[in-house]
């Protein structure tokens, strides 16, 4: 996992190693082959990194688990923006509910060796949001104006 502290007002995380070759990586979705991406509101600094029990490090460990599970799954299943996903919780824990979205910036293309790739954003949601997303239109949860 790679940490980008200056991309947003908070911190961005990416996998940056799912794509092995142009023709090897996650099963391509409508944006092609992609890396995983997540955002948090907390800023990273040296004090936060050194304190294992800091909220930042707790989120970091949770994102590592999510990225590992989704990375493995992305080689077996096509994951599209708007899809939901549920990761089984460890013993005594609730399942982790996610919805995926795409990340695009008009002025920043994600290009490796001349090929365009995408980012699939992993957004953790509450159980009630997951149930709503499944019962209603997935996209409405992400983009209420649709």
The Cα-based distances of 38 to 73, 91, 129, 137, 145 in angstroms read 17, 25, 18, 22, 22
31: tokens are 């944006």
Count of helices and strands (H, E) across the chain: 4, 7
The number of domains in the chain is 1
Give the residue numbers spanning the domain of 18. 2-142
Q: Tens-of-pLDDT digits for all 146 residues of the chain? A: 888 887 778 899 999 888 876 667 899 898 888 999 999 998 887 666 677 888 888 999 999 999 999 999 999 999 999 888 999 988 999 999 999 999 887 777 777 777 778 899 999 999 888 888 777 755 555 555 54
pTM: 0.84
């Amino acid at each position: 996992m790679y940490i980008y502290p200056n991309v947003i007002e908070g911190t961005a995380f990416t996998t940056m190693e799912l794509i092995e070759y142009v023709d090897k990586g996650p099963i391509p979705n409508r944006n092609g082959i992609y890396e995983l991406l997540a955002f948090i509101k907390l800023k990273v600094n040296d004090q936060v990194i050194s304190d294992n029990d800091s909220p930042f490090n707790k989120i970091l460990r949770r994102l590592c688990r999510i990225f590992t599970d989704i990375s493995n799954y992305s080689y077996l299943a096509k994951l599209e923006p708007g899809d939901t996903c549920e990761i089984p919780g460890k013993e005594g824990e609730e399942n982790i509910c996610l919805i995926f979205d795409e990340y695009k910036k008009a002025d920043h293309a994600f290009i490796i060796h001349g090929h365009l790739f995408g980012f699939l954003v992993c957004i953790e949601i509450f159980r009630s949001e997951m149930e709503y997303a499944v019962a209603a239109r997935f996209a409405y949860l992400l983009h209420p104006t649709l």
